[in-house]
Amino acid sequence: MTIFKGSGVAIVTPFNEDGTINYEELARLLEFQIENQTDAIIIAGTTGEASTLTDEEQLALIDFTVKKVDGRIPVIAGTGSNDTRHGISLSVEASKLGVDGLLMVTPYYNKCTQGGLIKHFTAMAEKVDVPIILYSVPGRTQVNIEPETVYELSKVDNIVGLKDATGDLAYAVEVMRLCGPDFALYSGNDDIIVPILSVGGVGVISVLANVVPKETHDMVDFYLQGRVKESAALQLKYKPLIDALFAEVNPIPVKKALELMDYKVGSLRLPLTEATLATTARLEELMKEAGLI
């Protein structure tokens, strides 16, 4: 039930000047991704500012994306919540819209136990038929899904993978040791895509791919083809740009990068603010070197 192998873009949500979602520009971004061989669209995730979308906006965003992509590549919707009932509601409604999978982040703020995580994710998985990717990002949520917990959750029929944004390779190794090759591991950190692939990962859910979709696709595709040196060369080449894209909290820098590429992505919703002059200057420098602007 692996939803995709390769590069899935954690796509931004463009806004109009009045703060509403800019669907015309989202359509343009989606076409840019598909034309450049991105393997999946992850909509309404962290990079998409889902935490400041209303439920109505989030579901409308998912609906638009499913219709625009029209089956050309998988669409995975972020529907995680720190309230299990709320997560169930979002997941059920998103499933009705025809998504190919769901991305469910660990409950934030509540800081539940590992037993609580098992009950939380199982309760949501039982209410939908589509495959689910767990999302562990303790730097944001203060909660990690321990490897043994991932293993227990992997026994649920439609929990098929994990987005690992821990940045801890030993964690990834242990997850794969316990869960085996049929469980899909995705890097949640662009700076360690190749290392994650080396321990059995099948792809990345990427911020970098917003800016260089073809190259991010190639990085994964080359590795999966056995062209390891070429894959590693791309990882090393784009490391400075990756660092710049995370110089401030995501998605502040990547929205600025897309703006520099003449995409009308608009501002960020508070409490996120615009990129600093230093971050902007660094992005301009690196993107000119890469021929992006």
Task: Give me 101's structure tokens.
Answer: 């999978």
- Catalytic residue check, 135: yes
203: left (phi over 0), alpha (psi -120 to 50) or beta: left
Amino acid sitting at position 176: M
5, 23, 109, 135: which one is catalytic? Answer: 135
- In 90-105, which positions are buried (b, 16+ CB within 10 angstroms) versus exposed (e)? bbebbbebbbbbbbbb
Asked if residue 103 lies in contact with residue 135, where contact means CB atoms within 8 angstroms, the answer is yes
Asked if residue 59 lies in contact with residue 97, where contact means CB atoms within 8 angstroms, the answer is yes
Q: What's the CA gap between 166 and 105, in Å, rounded?
A: 12
67, 127, 163, 214: which one is catalytic? Answer: 163
| Tokens 């109009």, located at residue | 16
Q: What's the CA gap between 177 and 137, in Å, rounded?
A: 20
Count other C-beta atoms under 10 Å from residue 65's C-beta.
25
- Catalytic residue check, 229: no
Helices (H), 180-227: 193-198, 213-224
Please list the active-site residues: 135, 163
